Amino acid sequence: MSTPAPQSPGAVRKVADALRTELLTRANLRLLLGVAAVGVLGLFGGFDAVDSDTPRHALTDVVGEPLTADPVEVVLTGTGTTLNLVGEEFPTLEMTVTNTGTRPVDGFALARILDWQGQEESTYATTQRPDGSSAGTLNPGVPVDLALIVPAGPDPVLVLNSVTWRVSNLDGSEQFFDPVPVAEVTL
Amino acid sequence: MKRRAPPSPQQSVLFVFILVAISVGTWISGLFPTPQSILDRPWVRESSPRIGTVEVADIEAFDVYRGAPTNGIFLVVSLQGEGVPEPLTYDAVLIDAEGRTSHRHHSSSCGIQQPGLPTPCELAFEVDPAALPGAQLRVARDSVLAERDFLAVDLLLDDARTAELLDDPRRSDYFGEDL
């Protein structure tokens, strides 16, 4: 077995020069620095969900108090129960909702305003009036008593969202869009 | 590398002038309605060849309408149509004294109106009773959500007529029978 021939200092310098001029360029170092910064942010929780800064209330603290979620005002009045058509009982959250805007709020918009945290299902089908009918349309200035079925599971949180009336980018229709949480209520 | 010379005062003034000109032009352009905004604007008139004419035959107030209670009042408007050009139905919005818009209650709707055969028609609006004097009706064909062509119908609701209506509101069950 023969020993490898020692590399000439010229070849090492060539490699070092190539690295310095072609790989360790100023642009590549900036890119590396950016990637490192993102990595450090990630290590310190930079990619975790941001904690909600929406005010959170206990139901007992806000019963009877008006909560504003444009374009409606919601007054939570307590809890109750309701029966479905086959006699099964469901817990409900009861409230009076008043449309303080200038145009009707239909059931779809109301379902964007009243939302249960972490629930994928809309509240459209679980919001009803005292006579058992659907919430329907809330016309301006009329307080409407509503019962919202509380979803199964631990620690349900009601989220109240403000919505904005604007033209849809998809079909040009005008509707309430862009729900923004303004209050959370724990039961 | 040759360093670029700073802009001359004339170039700076020209740059500012171009910015100001663009801003003024954009502002002036915004003062004019766009073709789409003109198309989207409601067209409110007394009669329409697409709808005919509509008169109010009767107005009543209910505090329970077809079994549905309310914290406001149900204003139930009976309409009498004439001159419909083809089979259609009526829908309407109520504009109250404060300029707010109300849609009809889901339990009321108009049947099909056949040309030459006016059909009684009743629309109920759940509204704020305080804003009823001066309220107007805007009638459209088929659906107010899809229409821009409205008939203006005066409900002739002054303070006295409103007070008379609200004095003794009716109550009806799900089938429309008096409670």
Q: How confident is the model over B15-31, as pLDDT tens digits?
A: 999 999 999 999 998 88
Look-up of token digits 């009809």: B104
Domain A56-186 -> CATH class: mainly beta
pLDDT at A2 over 60: no
% of chain A at pLDDT higher than 70: 91
Domain B53-171 -> CATH class: mainly beta
For B1, the token pair is: 């590398």
Of A104, A165, A110, A175, which is closest to residue B95 (Cα–Cα)? A104
Cis ω on the peptide bond leading into residue A71 (within 30° of 0)? yes
8 Å CB contact of B126 and A139:
yes
Of B140, B99, B148, B100, which is closest to residue B123 (Cα–Cα)? B140
| Domain boundary assignment for chain A | 9-46, 56-186
Q: Enter the pTM of the model.
A: 0.75
Q: Which of A101, A129, A142 sits opposite B127 (nearest CB)?
A: A142
pLDDT at A135 over 60: yes
Q: What is the pLDDT of residues B26-76, one digit of tens each?
A: 999 888 888 777 777 777 877 788 888 888 999 999 999 999 999 999 999
What pLDDT sits at residue B102?
96
Distance between B18 CA and the closest CA of chain A, angstroms: 32
8 Å CB contact of A104 and B103:
yes
Count Cβ atoms below 10 Å from residue A7 Cβ, excluding itself: 9
B109 chain-A contacts, CB cut-off 8 A? none
For B51, the token pair is: 């709808």
Q: Which letter, b or e, does each residue of A147-185 get, where b requires 16 or more Cβ atoms within 10 Å of its Cβ?
A: bbbbbeeeebebbbbbbebeeeeeeeeeebeebebbbbb
Q: Which letter, b or e, does each residue of A37-75 get, where b requires 16 or more Cβ atoms within 10 Å of its Cβ?
A: eeeeeeeeeeeeeeeeeeeebeeeebbeeebebbbbebb
Distance between A164 CA and the closest CA of chain B, angstroms: 17
pLDDT at B179 over 60: yes
Look-up of token digits 């309220």: B135
- This model of the complex carries an ipTM of 0.78
Better pLDDT: B147 or A91: A91
% of chain A at pLDDT higher than 90: 52
Q: Which residues contact A68 (CB under 8 A, 6 or more apart)?
A: A74, A100, A162, A182
d(CA A122, CA A187) in angstroms, rounded, equals: 19
Q: Is A100 on the interface with B (CB under 8 A)?
A: no
Q: What is the pLDDT of residues A29-86, one digit of tens each?
A: 889 999 999 888 887 777 666 666 888 999 999 999 999 999 999 999 999 998 887 8
Between A and B, how many CB-CB pairs are < 8 A?
60
Q: Which residues contact B156 (CB under 8 A, 6 or more apart)?
A: B56
Number of helical (H) and strand (E) elements in chain A, helices listed first: 4, 9
8 Å CB contact of B96 and A141:
yes
8 Å CB contact of B96 and A137:
no
